Amino acid sequence: MRNNFLIIFLTLLGWIILKYLLLGNISFENSFKYGFLYHGTALVTLAILATASGIRSMENTPGFLVVFKHIAKSVITYALGATLTVGVWHHVIVKKATHARLETLKVSISTHFESEADFQEEKNTNNLESDLTLPEWVTSQHEAADLFYSPKAQISLTLMVYLVVGVFISFIASLLWTKVWGMQQTSANSR
For 3-37, what is each residue's pLDDT tens digit? 889 999 999 999 999 999 998 899 888 998 999 99
Give the Cα separation of 144 and 106 in Å (integer).
10
Q: How confident is the model at residue 189 (pLDDT cuts 50, 70, 90)?
A: low
Most confident region among 60-64, 102-106, 124-128, 187-191 by mean pLDDT: 102-106
Name the DSSP letter for residue 190: T
| Residue 93, CA atoms < 13 Å, CB-side half-sphere | 12
What percent of the chain has pLDDT above 70? 93
**pLDDT for the residue 126:** 78
pLDDT surpassing 60 at residue 184? no
**Are 71 and 171 a contacting pair, CB within 8 Å?**
no
pTM for this model (two decimals): 0.84
Q: Which ranges of the chain does DSSP label H, i.e. alpha helix? A: 2-22, 28-57, 64-88, 95-110, 116-125, 134-149, 151-175, 182-189
Q: Which ranges of 89-133 does DSSP label H, i.e. alpha helix? A: 95-110, 116-125
Q: Which residue has the higher pLDDT, 180 or 69?
A: 69
**Are 90 and 16 a contacting pair, CB within 8 Å?**
no
Condensed to tens digits (0 to 9), the pLDDT of residues 49-73 reads 999 888 888 888 889 999 999 999 9
